[in-house]
A and B are shown apart, each in its own frame.
Chain A
Amino acid sequence: MEAWVRFSAQSAAKERVFRAAQYACTLLGYTMQKNGASAELLARIKQLEAHMSLGRKLFRLGNSAEALEAAKRAIHLSDMVLRFCITVAHLNRAMYFACDNILWAGKTGLVPHADQEKWSQRSFRYYLFALIMNLSRDAYEIRLLMEREASGKRPKGTENGHQAQVDNGLQHLALRLRIQLRLLGHVLRSNPPLLLDLVKNACDIFIPLDKLGLYKTSPGFVGLCGLTSSILSILTIVHPQHRYRSELLKEPKKQQQSREDRFGLQASSWVGAAARKMKMLNCRERESCLYMRASGFSAVGCEAVQGETSILQKMLQQSIQPMNSLIRHQRTQLPVAAFSC
């Protein structure tokens, strides 16, 4: 019960639940019509749907200015493509909410001569543009992630390409397409929030496409798409870790500090390995001395700055050189050269 209280305290939560219920009514009405239900039942379902739509419109009265605020904030983003996509998406949403407010005023009788059909079409047009911008943003992010993945792996593709040039141009194309699809699948699987966002926007886009007459589907399909996208957005409210945050706009890691950390940790692990070797050769004194040095290295490594790496190198060489002479017969040389950085 406490979970429901926490959930409904969030602003958009109840609205999403009623949206899901509204589209479920659409789907139910269509299914019942197909199965030959009575006109009275269909009328009742339609009345419920209209009631929920009007109630939701009432509670959305402030969202237009909210979207304008979000657009104003999005102008300061660093990446240009993202800045454009997100700002335009927010502006279109603001216009959609403004048209929605006028529709509400018309339905409640404040503005009785408002042309409901015209304003409804306008609102769906702005909604469509906003969704197109969202999808382009998702596509841009996916493309960048795919490029990052492809450049991270070894260039297997070029080798295959050289081989396939011998065979056939079409096979080469099919192979490339398969590689791209596999890469896409990998990117989407490792980024579930992005996948969720993409599916949600893709489901949502069928609603204005149907209402504007650009791609007519059945009311049942529209209801199903709306229900799916509402459930997915409720999921992102309930589990905030599934909310998508752009990879590009995350803060870059502090490379300098981590390198020093790695340096110190690697040094300590290698010296620790050397100490274990000493133990094997029953040189207890050397072993304890090396363990002390290992722990000292890890402490120093974390605080090391550029100038002190030479000191670290000297310390390592002092401890490793005599060990190398001892264990040379085992052909295990500790990699001192790797410390040249």
Chain B
Amino acid sequence: MLKSKTFVKKTRKGGVLKVVREHYLRDDIWCGSAACGQCPQDKPVLESDPEIDSSLCGFPHYLIPDTNVVLHQMDVLADSAIRNVIVLQTVQQEVRHRSGTTYQRLRDQSNNPDKNFYVFTNEHHRETYTEREQGESSNDYNDRVIRIATRWYNKHLQENRKDGEAPKVKVVLLTNDRENREKAQKEGLLAYTVHQYVKSLTGNPELVDRLAQVDMGESTDSDIKNEATGRVLFPEHLPLSQLQTGIKSGRFLQGSFMASRENYLEANVLVHGDESRSIFIQGHAHLNRSVNEDAVAVEMLPEDQWKCPSSMVLQDKDGDEETSEPDLGSPKVRSNAIPSGRVVGVIKRNWRPYCGVLQPSGIKEATRHLFMPAERKIPKIRIETRQAETLQGQRIVVSIDGWPRNSRYPKGHFVRKLGEVGDKDTENEVLLLEHDVPHQPFSQAVLNCLPSTPWGITKEDLACRQDLRDLPICSVDPPGCTDIDDALHYLEKPNGNVEVGVHIADVTHFIRPNTPLDQEAANRGNTVYLCDKRIDMVPELLSSNICSLRGKEERFAFSCIWEMTKNAEIVATRFCKSVICSKAAMTYAEAQMRIDDKNRNDAVTFGLRGLNALAKILKKRRIDAGALTLASIEVRFHVDSETHDPIDLETKELRETNSMVEEFMLLANISVAKKILSDFPSCAMLRRHPQPPPSNYDILIKAGKSKGVDIETDTSKSLAVSLDQATIPSEPYFNTLLRIISTRCMMQALYFCSGTLPESDFFHYGLATPIYTHFTSPIRRYSDIIVHRLLAVSINADKSFPDLLDKYKSQALCNNLNFRHKMAQYAGRASVELHTQLFFKNKVTEEEGFVLFVRKNAVQVLIPKFGFEGTIFLKSQDGRGEDSPFVFNEEESSQTAGEVKLRMFDRVVVQITVETSHIQHQKLRIRLVKPEVPGFSVPPVEASDKISQPPVKKVKT
């Protein structure tokens, strides 16, 4: 029975509610040490003879960190040198309340058997529990609890040594709180600050760099000017309790802080709970040390202080401590002012480790350096390191520790280095890390879940599947595609109707729920495509072999088969698990050729023609319903087979066959969505695309007006129609540009669980369909795996399992998938950018471009051939450049210099080079060639070639 010894009550009082809770104390919680001869434990976590070289503690010892040490020095604790740590429950719980991410990292450490982290449930242990004293603050109480546990451990390990001979293991308390340390020392305990302890580790000097610089208390000399003068640069953050009451009373608003990519002094705060509402923040003091993605509390400014975005592109250029704030405001233009506010406090920091480079420092032996993150939304970070020399020209990872009021930049510490700047593998690693893409090789546990090879279809498999091997099934994909997850067939029926089938790789046959393979795939969420690399969601054996519907091989499929009239009206739909054998795996071009080749009349070609005809009808119907065709330019690099450097690039071509496959995939997705929603009204995984708020379209309408074209945006239908009509014969590229701009007005499409939203929100705006899901790519998207499982249950082909039918878990999964999906897109784009940069290395190219946006000090130019967008700065960044010949006209958004006027959609010729002068932060530089502006534009290539030669050579050596 129960071993509850004493029986104590714990209470909570907030408002008028009083909660009484039981608190059982136990005597069956073991110490977890292998050196202990008394506790009857199976597998002690802590080693009996912990080895670490410390000049301070020259004996075997375990560490007990206090809460603040765990919170701030997680990077030190996570180092492989630090082992044999006792994590007290008190500490763990407090960390959990204060920082979710640190708590997660702490848990990872305790689950890692190599680290020997032991969680000691001290609050339920009979001898380490203590009641809080009258008038004792919660911090003091926790400190006391930690000391009691430390004392107990010391005593326990001393008294219960194994057969008397084992070396005496001691316990060392790590705390940076002076009072706590002194009290502990008075009680005869060993207590040090982390800094003392880490510096004493003679075997691991590099750990010192990882120490976080926060509240050192006894901080040494400070050479920072502002610290010396004690000047305060930022207003104080209000304490959390005041923020809470302020938010409750409506005086403050809570939201997530979204820094602007273009201007480091501007940001928007998206108000929680009211997604369409955003508050504009401008200037150092108002931003008040917020970092991108923090949860902050904002106070609205009175309306007469509202500002408008400066329409200026601004990068934090030099690392001076001066807070010279460029003149951003033109508060004269009242009409454009938008709701503005200032940050009064930070509710939750969302800091993560950041990748970037060290900014070279003027002084050679300096230990304080500035770090430039790769992500422009993140401010520079001041770090302290002794290895600056070796870190120059390297990509490194840095964590933020804190941001004092008197420091222009946040303070941080070095975590690790990734490799050389400009090296492709390093840069790939950087972009994967920056986008939080899990890219480690699959673990053995995951690989163990794979079917054994050679794999074949057995009789039992055939018994429970429909045999569709005789059907003329074929697949159409982009060239070089190895993960083929869809195939099609078309047959004419005797009754005049046709049968059309979409066959999707049956991935869920191999990925069973809750296996390590499944969990890994759920975490990865999707396959990430970089230019030269694919980061698979499932191991390659599945993705490019067993699940891939390759030509002339027998494969498992999940089939969706319709009976249609020749007018593409669906008569009946059925779903089944099947065995198929694809007759041909074609590329889009091959399929197109077959359709066009009059001499070919085999079943597959016949089917393709039938499908193509149906697809045209389906597409027209969809567009009539208001589906949008938007544009974005996708480019494809030809990669050198040996160096893997890009040697050429082309924009993707669209053929009829592309849209043929797409139409049937859409149809299959919609049919499946209907089916799973009817069978699982509360837990179907669907995809929605909300209609953007009208204000999103402002920029599009303005752009249209500048060319005298009216764009209507009331419904997706009217938008589609007005986009179709918006053509200017003399400017053939105008329509594409408009579509590119309207793509940017759109909201993100999202996965969601049907039980969490009202049915009216299921709508997919872009496709103009009331319901949609993803069914057709289970090899590369996890959402499709869930949809497959739901569909399999609803046709009785498979069993359900608890998590599948739990709408909260399902929604949590959706949130992860949405995040991964977004990050995969960003990573893909970043990879294109990286390759573009590599492509232009050592080259000077001239290309045609179009002005996409006109800003106060710059114009943004889209270069269609390479599908990227660049900024041409027209004025120096502080915005006061009198040297610039350009005059900005905000009303019609144009820049004028003498005769030349730059406006939206104007055609320009630009020169593209890679800026090599600044090796730390290579970037593409775009300069204006045409129209010529004396004193600003650069001469065409022939002339400039010679000028740019020398630096190019320098780089090569």
Does A pair with B? Answer: no
Interface residue ranges, A against B (CB under 8 Å): none
Interface residue ranges, B against A (CB under 8 Å): none
